[in-house]
Chains A and B, each alone.
Chain A
């Protein structure tokens, strides 16, 4: 300890302190500040670059996801459309069928109606003809009767036989 104290040099202490402080202030101004600032700036920019890269990656992934979603949607829509088209086709066909059937029925009904009318018309015509015939027969009868009784009855019978209803 005594040796240490006797070895202690005030001059060296003074110079060491002085020179060290000078070095400290010079280095602070010309070396440490620019270096630490540059390093901090660089670290920050690297961090930011990494962050933005990560963000871009996420964005891309999102985009890819939405792309595939869009594709899926389009596919679904197409399927839907196809389904709808098929349904519509079936519906149209079914409708056409029922309409045709209805039409056919209508035609059939009309035809029956016509037939009925024609039949009644024919019956009416027949009736008039029968009446006409009856009148002619009656006329003939009358004429015959007026001449011969036997003959009259024979005539009636013949006439009646002659009549052929159809």
Chain B
């Protein structure tokens, strides 16, 4: 972060600065990738099927949220490196404890006479021995308390939000002294202008765009930054959680419906310019479209980020399956290439989400005379 901050201050043109930051991220991701550290010694000992199973497990675990911030595991000694996060449960009253109580799922946590076990990253209510009951499909049938834990994703969201807040507050504060952005603002102001001039105004129109700017800017910056953290070697995967994208899409959905004007609703329930039978057929389709639009937003972001993580991790995993320098070199190159593609995807998905959100807002506030 310090090198980044130093970079922000140098008075380069924004394009070269952006390139530099992209480069830094790639370098960062390549040097500190945990898999390179982790599998160095396991590779010789384990056979290839073991490695395959392990890689698959790793990827699946990575995609899921976790109750502690796991960085890496030393297989030879069995020690995990990382830090625990607070677990908050609602189960006849608030129960709070640190996730270190689970000892990475190996022990049962006891709070006020209630016992909880961590199984496949979900918390279940158990007895003192941690007995889990399964149904015929091997699903756990134990009761699940409402889990409001500060998980790895929640923790990441908090950290990224704080970083975003201070970065953009610096931009806002910079204008108190001068009309030109200073320091970090030189890099951030083009982002704000980009959202305003390329996303908000073209899709919503000069007349109404202003009241949506705060939401659009926050969504754009949040998704972009959180996507970028997913490309760091910390193994964070926030936008690859359906709950996160659902929350974002839901907000877009609510704002769209709340700002919907007469023309918008008329287009849904009584499509102008078509015969009456068509109007009746179109109404349910249009109504379905109202739901499908934010649903597509949700799935698009989730799927893109998840897929990116799966592909990148699989490629890194392939480096350890092939015991051949030529193949490894090829896969290293491919991983590097895909890392760069993922950087683009991180931005692109933030852009698409914001752009479509603005487009839906534009539909909602559209007035009849603008439609001609």
Partners in one complex: yes
Enumerate chain A interface residues (CB-CB to B < 8 A).
4, 7-17, 19-20, 22-24, 26-28, 30-39, 41-42, 45
A106 and B226 CA atoms in complex are apart in Å by 123
How many chain B residues touch the partner (CB < 8 A)?
Answer: 46
Known contacts A4-B242, A12-B243, A35-B192: A20-B172 contact under CB 8 Å: no
What 5 pairs across the A-B complex have the smallest Cβ distances?
A38-B175, A31-B168, A34-B172, A13-B243, A16-B247
Q: What per-residue 1/0 map shows which CB atoms of B206-230 lie under 8 Å from chain A?
A: 0000100111011001100000000
- Docked-complex contact B179 and A12, CB < 8 angstroms: no
> How many cross-chain pairs have Cβ atoms below 8 Å apart between A and B?
127
> CB-CB < 8 A to A4: which residues of B?
242
User: In the complex, how many angstroms separate the beta carbon of B223 from the nearest chain A beta carbon?
Assistant: 10
> CB-CB < 8 A to A22: which residues of B?
161
User: In the complex, how many angstroms separate the beta carbon of B118 from the nearest chain A beta carbon?
Assistant: 14
- Docked-complex contact B189 and A27, CB < 8 angstroms: no
Specify which of A12, A14, A27, A39 lies most central, judged by the most chain B CB atoms within 10 Å of its CB. Answer: A12
User: In the complex, how many angstroms separate the beta carbon of B243 from the nearest chain A beta carbon?
Assistant: 4
Known contacts A28-B214, A35-B168: A16-B189 contact under CB 8 Å: no
Please tell me which one of the listed residues A10, A26, A30, A41 contacts residue B243 in the complex, with CB atoms under 8 A apart.
Answer: A10
Known contacts A30-B172, A35-B175: A8-B243 contact under CB 8 Å: yes
> CB-CB < 8 A to B147: which residues of A?
9-11
- Give the residue name and chain of the A residue nearest to B146 (CB): A10
- Docked-complex contact B222 and A23, CB < 8 angstroms: yes
> CB-CB < 8 A to A41: which residues of B?
179
User: In the complex, how many angstroms separate the beta carbon of B173 from the nearest chain A beta carbon?
Assistant: 7
Interface majority SS (helix, strand, loop, mixed), chain A:
helix
- Docked-complex contact B244 and A16, CB < 8 angstroms: yes
Please tell me which one of the listed residues B148, B180, B217, B251 contacts residue A32 in the complex, with CB atoms under 8 A apart.
Answer: B217
> CB-CB < 8 A to B165: which residues of A?
23, 26-27, 30-31
- Give the residue name and chain of the A residue nearest to B157 (CB): A19
B126 lies within 8 A of chain A by Cβ: no
Known contacts A15-B157, A23-B222, A39-B189: A7-B247 contact under CB 8 Å: no
Please tell me which one of the listed residues B158, B193, B215, B250 contacts residue A19 in the complex, with CB atoms under 8 A apart.
Answer: B158
B286 lies within 8 A of chain A by Cβ: no
A42 and B214 CA atoms in complex are apart in Å by 19
Known contacts A15-B154, A15-B157: A8-B242 contact under CB 8 Å: yes
Within 8 A of A (CB), among B114-170: 146-151, 153-154, 157-158, 161, 164-165, 168-169
> CB-CB < 8 A to A26: which residues of B?
165
- 26 A-B pairs with C-beta separation under 8 A: A4-B242, A7-B243, A8-B242, A11-B148, A11-B151, A12-B65, A12-B153, A13-B244, A13-B246, A15-B150, A15-B151, A16-B154, A16-B247, A19-B157, A19-B161, A20-B247, A23-B161, A28-B214, A28-B218, A31-B168, A31-B169, A31-B172, A33-B214, A34-B172, A36-B213, A45-B179
> CB-CB < 8 A to A28: which residues of B?
214, 218
User: In the complex, how many angstroms separate the beta carbon of B306 from the nearest chain A beta carbon?
Assistant: 10
B196 lies within 8 A of chain A by Cβ: yes
> CB-CB < 8 A to B154: which residues of A?
11-12, 15-16, 19
B64 lies within 8 A of chain A by Cβ: yes
- Docked-complex contact A7 and B64, CB < 8 angstroms: yes
Known contacts A15-B157, A36-B213: A20-B251 contact under CB 8 Å: yes
